[in-house]
């Protein structure tokens, strides 16, 4: 690698970053090793492997992995690699099996990754072959931990524990679960994948970039208003319009939400209010919540309303909408974004319908919101090749941060979320403790 630590250090300044962080394949490879290879990365939700033998396949950075549940109920995250010749063992996105079996030479593994059967194994007699040697297994990743069913893994043996890592973002996960009358959420169905022609960080930075919605999403805001204004007088506002309209919110609206940043690169907008605050009530939901928690506690739960909690680098959650998006880097200019949808267990099914409608309108590759973001990312990815300038600016509202414990509060349209991400990025990339 020609990228020395000293040179990596020079890619990030306090108010700008060098274009190489988005465009240089060597930097991408180093990110996979130093950042994605060390951080806690979201893998999946326990409800996706609720029964023994169930598994899903995904990736941590560019490492293919399997999330499985063994017959004792234990959840594992394994490298999806045969201990024999290295072939990917599980190819299906989801499945249920009594063991993993490599389709090449038939080596099989238990759901915890331990070697089960090697066909015709007398060929290994007196060869020093040790079936207990981890290299002949589907190896577990270094660390796995979960919070309320959300499973994260780290490829590094050392580092902060999951709770420390999640910090203030843990309240977003808790709030989403608490919005269920029984305090539980579960994944519904398959994911919504959306392939992006851009560096993964462009997506992550956009989540708490509040100076883009009123520009990039102006058209769908205008189109929605025009159609809604043409509805007969007294007609109720359609749910779709309640979802789309706030994307055209004013600068002042987003400033008032505020942006909160915290250690390890995480951030969220809002807190007591967000672009999801003014949704209509769904019949039966309040009743089921009050029956479980009592009015006072319900008011407290529903008053938390965060927009795009970002758990850097892999995961973003909307607690009030019950949608998660997972960032999966594929190459320096290729990123897969997967949306996952959660049911509030015990709540009226209409709550799930709203979650689904939201994701279709905002996250789908065929929505009228996602494609405008997509296009702007791709424009950056392309035009950052230009020799006219080599730096990308992020100085909005710099110096106006206020500290509240280990949470930094800035106006909503500040670039602070991006600056905070690069602070963590530098720490990971130069080998300091993040």
Partner 1 sequence: MLTASKNEASDLREIEAFLYREADLLDAGNLRAWRDLFTEDGTYWLPISPDQDDPLGHISIIYEDKMMMAIRAENFGHRLAASMQYAVRSSHIVANTRLQERSADGSEIVVKSNFQAVIYYRTQSVYAGTCTHKLRREESDWRIVQKRVDLINCDADHKSIVIYI
Residues that bind partner 1 (CB under 8 A): 188-197, 215-216, 218-220, 222-224, 226-227, 230-231, 238, 240, 244, 336, 339, 341, 349, 352-353, 356, 359-360, 364-366, 368, 370-372, 374-376, 379
Output 211 or 356, the one with its CB closest to partner 1: 356
Report the nearest approach of partner 1 to the CB of residue 190 (Å).
6
CA dihedral 390, 395, 399, 404 (to 10 degrees): -110
Tokens representing 13 are 């300044």
CA dist 38 and 66 (Å) reads: 18
Q: Is the dihedral of CA 72, 77, 80, 82 positive or negative?
A: negative
CA dist 326 and 271 (Å) reads: 21
Report the nearest approach of partner 1 to the CB of residue 366 (Å).
4
Output 84 or 334, the one with its CB closest to partner 1: 334
What SS3 class is residue 103? coil
Output 63 or 197, the one with its CB closest to partner 1: 197
Report the nearest approach of partner 1 to the CB of residue 282 (Å).
13
Report the nearest approach of partner 1 to the CB of residue 215 (Å).
8
Q: Are strands 323-331 and 334-344 parallel, antiparallel or unpaired?
A: antiparallel
CA dist 213 and 415 (Å) reads: 14
Output 255 or 338, the one with its CB closest to partner 1: 338
Output 89 or 244, the one with its CB closest to partner 1: 244
Report the nearest approach of partner 1 to the CB of residue 52 (Å).
25
Output 106 or 365, the one with its CB closest to partner 1: 365
Let me know how many helices (H) and strands (E) the chain has, helices first: 15, 22
What is the arrangement of strands in the sheet containing 115-117, beginning at the earlier edge strand? 100-101, 108-109, 115-117
Q: Count of residues for the chain?
A: 434
Output 292 or 357, the one with its CB closest to partner 1: 357
Report the nearest approach of partner 1 to the CB of residue 352 (Å).
6
Of 133, 169, 197, give the one whose Cα is nearest residue 337: 197
Report the nearest approach of partner 1 to the CB of residue 380 (Å).
11
Report the nearest approach of partner 1 to the CB of residue 256 (Å).
24
Output 35 or 220, the one with its CB closest to partner 1: 220
Of 427, 156, 157, 165, give the one whose Cα is nearest residue 312: 165
Interacting residues of 234 by C-beta distance below 8 A, sequence separation 6+: none
What SS3 class is residue 307? strand
Report the nearest approach of partner 1 to the CB of residue 157 (Å).
32
- Radius of gyration for the alpha carbons in the chain, expressed in angstroms and rounded: 23
Q: Are 29 and 331 spatial neighbours (Cβ–Cβ below 8 Å)?
A: no
Alpha-helical runs (H) found in 283-385: 285-293, 295-303, 349-362, 370-383
Interacting residues of 151 by C-beta distance below 8 A, sequence separation 6+: 42, 43, 44, 45, 46, 67, 75, 77, 144, 145
Output 169 or 199, the one with its CB closest to partner 1: 199
């Amino acid at each position: 690698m020609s990228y020395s630590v000293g040179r990596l250090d020079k890619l990030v300044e306090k108010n700008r970053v060098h274009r190489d962080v988005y465009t240089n394949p060597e930097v991408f490879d180093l990110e996979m090793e130093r950042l994605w290879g060390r951080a806690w990365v979201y893998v999946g939700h326990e409800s996706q492997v609720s029964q023994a033998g169930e598994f899903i396949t995904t990736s941590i950075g560019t490492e293919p992995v399997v999330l499985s549940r063994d017959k004792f109920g234990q959840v594992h995250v394994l490298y999806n690699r045969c201990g024999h010749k290295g072939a990917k063992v599980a190819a299906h996105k989801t499945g249920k099996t009594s063991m993993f079996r490599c389709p090449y030479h038939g080596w099989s593994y238990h759901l915890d990754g331990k070697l089960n059967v090697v066909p015709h194994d007398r060929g290994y007699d007196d060869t020093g072959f040790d079936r207990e040697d981890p290299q002949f297994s589907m190896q577990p990743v270094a660390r796995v931990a979960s919070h309320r069913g959300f499973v994260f893994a780290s490829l590094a043996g050392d580092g902060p524990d999951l709770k420390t890592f999640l910090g203030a973002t843990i309240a977003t996960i808790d709030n989403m679960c608490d919005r269920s009358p029984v305090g539980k959420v579960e994944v519904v169905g398959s994911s919504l994948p959306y392939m992006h022609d851009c560096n993964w960080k462009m997506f992550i930075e956009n989540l708490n970039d509040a100076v883009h919605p009123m520009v990039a999403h102006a058209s769908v805001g205008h189109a929605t208003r025009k159609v809604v204004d043409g509805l007969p007088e007294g007609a109720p506002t359609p749910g779709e319009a309640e979802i789309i309209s706030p994307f055209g919110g004013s600068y002042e609206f987003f400033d008032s939400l505020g942006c909160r940043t915290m250690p390890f690169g995480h951030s969220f907008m809002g807190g007591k209010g967000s672009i999801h605050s003014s949704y209509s009530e769904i019949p039966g939901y309040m009743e089921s919540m009050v029956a479980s928690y009592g009015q006072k506690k319900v008011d407290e739960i529903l008053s938390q309303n965060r927009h795009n909690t970002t758990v850097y680098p892999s995961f973003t959650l909307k607690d009030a909408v019950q949608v998660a998006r997972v960032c999966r880097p594929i190459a320096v200019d290729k990123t897969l974004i997967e949306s996952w949808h959660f049911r509030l267990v015990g709540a009226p099914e209409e709550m799930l319908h709203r979650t689904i409608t939201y994701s279709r309108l905002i996250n789908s590759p065929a929505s009228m919101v996602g494609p405008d973001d997509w296009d702007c990312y791709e424009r950056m990815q392309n035009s950052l090749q230009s020799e006219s300038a080599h730096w990308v600016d992020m100085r909005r509202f710099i110096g106006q941060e206020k500290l509240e414990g280990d949470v930094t509060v800035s106006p909503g349209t500040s670039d602070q979320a991006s600056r905070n991400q690069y602070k963590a990025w530098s720490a990971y990339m130069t080998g300091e403790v993040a």
